[in-house]
Amino acid sequence: MTLTAPEQPYPTRADTFAAFSAHVSRGKAAMFQKYGVDVVMGERQGTSFHDAFDGRRLFNCHCNGGVYNLGHRHPAVLAALRGALDTLDVGNHHLVSGLRARLAERLAATTEGRLPGVVFGVAGGEAIDLAIKVARAATRRRGVVSASGGYHGHTGLALAAGDAKYREPFLSSAAEFTQVPFNDVEALGRAVDDTTAAVLFETIPATLGMPIPEPGYLHAVGELCQARGAKLILDEVQTGLGRTGTCWAHEQDDVTPDAIVTGKGLSGGLYPIAATLLSRELHAVFDEDPFRHISTFGGAELGCTAALAVLDVIEAPGFLARVAALGERFARGLAGAPFELRRRGMFMGLKFPFEDAGLMGAKLLIDAGIFAVWANNDTSVVQLLPPLVCTDAEADEIIGIVRRVFG
């Protein structure tokens, strides 16, 4: 498919940065200019995008944290959304919707019915907030335990559960939110008690530098939660929907959560949608009063259409096996490189031996034609999230660039 580059509202890169700085974010514009990362997205398709002003091509190996798991403008998702625009809009959250029901049914089926209830939102932070709210309502407890250095979004309860650098500037720290090191069962055991409503973990904490859970860790977390009456919420916003070679990353860890949060990739990069998958007990919080929580744009019918197309793609025969094979291809290709490869499927982090190497590494990759970012809470790590639809040739080209950049 040949695309026409999207028309830019400002004639030059300098004009674009000036307007962005004046009206959107002075800090972001200044930071990107300081590090020489002055990319403005233009034409995009599949695994890559082009700069709007010089046409330079970059492989998208950040994927906006998994938004572009299926690449940019996947033809099946695009076709579904285009067709829906002829007859649909966002719908009305007050009313029964067959599209919301069908998407919820499909999502519940990914858990083999263990989490039959689904509540829709617009973004991951909103979905995390919902999960914490229902855990508190069901347990009549307030405490939330999460991972030090973790990240769950910038909304109220999600922000309180995240790293101090996100919550403290906004006076969002709260006594009932505590944090423990990831991969430390003993520390978690000391933190979880009869006041704990929920334990909230990313299955693999992306912003913390992608530390892979130790064998048996998440299983032990699940058993501890069950023994002490706390609910286990797994944030799979980045790791879910096939990124690790299974629909959900936690499937590889012998653990059954009480709630799963998904977003980003569910949108296909075309219409924002997020979802919280809930156990029957947690979903029952809404039986008496279904308007205890509403989201005007949550589960918009256009978003449901896009998400159903996403599920069609990732549930197609052979898709997840292909993701697993691609991950192995990257592992072979990057073997012996001067970094630790933290990897599960196509969820990868390049861990360097000194602080801020991830910042420098990301800059070097961008200059070489790969858009990647560092892990914000462990700046020694570059996040590497190529689209799951890479061809072998594209995978080998990405591997080759990484090898040339880092030796």
Q: Which residue, 314, 330, 346, sits at the end of a domain?
A: 314
CA–CA separation, 2 and 9 (whole Å): 22
Q: Checking DSSP bridges between strand 41-45 and strand 57-60, what pairing results, if any?
A: unpaired
Question: Can you give the CATH number for the domain in which 35 is found?
Answer: 3.90.1150.10
CA–CA separation, 331 and 346 (whole Å): 9
Please indicate, yes or no, if residue 329 is contained in any of the structural domains.
yes
Backbone Cα Rg of the chain: 21
Domain count of the chain?
Answer: 2
Q: What was the pLDDT predicted at 159? A: 75
Residues 180 and 300 in one domain: yes
Residue owning tokens 């910038």: 154
Please indicate, yes or no, if residue 186 is contained in any of the structural domains.
yes
H or E stretch at 78: helix 75-84
Residue owning tokens 């029952």: 284
Please indicate, yes or no, if residue 4 is contained in any of the structural domains.
no
In 161-249, at which residue ranges do the beta strands (DSSP E only) sit? 177-180, 196-202, 231-235
Cβ-contact 276, 123 below 8 angstroms:
no
pLDDT tens for 230-264 read 999 999 999 999 999 999 999 999 999 999 999 99
Residues 164 and 257 in one domain: yes
| CB-based contacts of 184-191 (< 8 A; 24+ apart in sequence) | 185/217, 185/220, 185/221, 185/224, 188/145, 188/221, 188/224, 189/224, 191/145
- Coil, helix or strand at residue 292: coil
CA–CA separation, 12 and 14 (whole Å): 5
Q: Which residue, 262, 284, 314, sits at the end of a domain?
A: 314
Residues 88 and 165 in one domain: yes
Q: What was the pLDDT predicted at 165? A: 81
Which residue in 357, 358, 377 sits closest to 165, CA to CA? 377
Please indicate, yes or no, if residue 196 is contained in any of the structural domains.
yes
Cβ-contact 13, 40 below 8 angstroms:
yes
Cβ-contact 103, 304 below 8 angstroms:
yes
Please indicate, yes or no, if residue 7 is contained in any of the structural domains.
no
Which residue in 325, 345, 350, 347 sits closest to 335, CA to CA? 350
Distances (CA, A) of 290 to 100, 259, 286: 15, 18, 5
DSSP annotation of 160 reads H
Residue partners of 59: CB distance under 8 A and separation at least 6: 47, 48, 369, 370, 371, 386, 394, 397, 398, 401
Please indicate, yes or no, if residue 5 is contained in any of the structural domains.
no
Residues 269 and 387 in one domain: no
| CB-based contacts of 162-171 (< 8 A; 24+ apart in sequence) | 163/207, 163/377, 165/377
Please indicate, yes or no, if residue 2 is contained in any of the structural domains.
no
| Whole-structure pTM value | 0.95
- Domain boundaries, position 21: 13-68+319-406
Please indicate, yes or no, if residue 382 is contained in any of the structural domains.
yes
pLDDT tens for 257-294 read 999 999 999 999 999 999 999 999 999 999 999 999 99
Q: Which residue, 272, 294, 314, sits at the end of a domain?
A: 314
How many CB atoms are located within 10 Å of the residue 201 CB?
Answer: 25
Distances (CA, A) of 395 to 370, 383, 390: 12, 16, 6
pLDDT tens for 189-217 read 999 999 999 999 999 999 999 999 999 99
- Coil, helix or strand at residue 31: helix
**pLDDT below 70 — which residues of the chain?**
1-4, 171
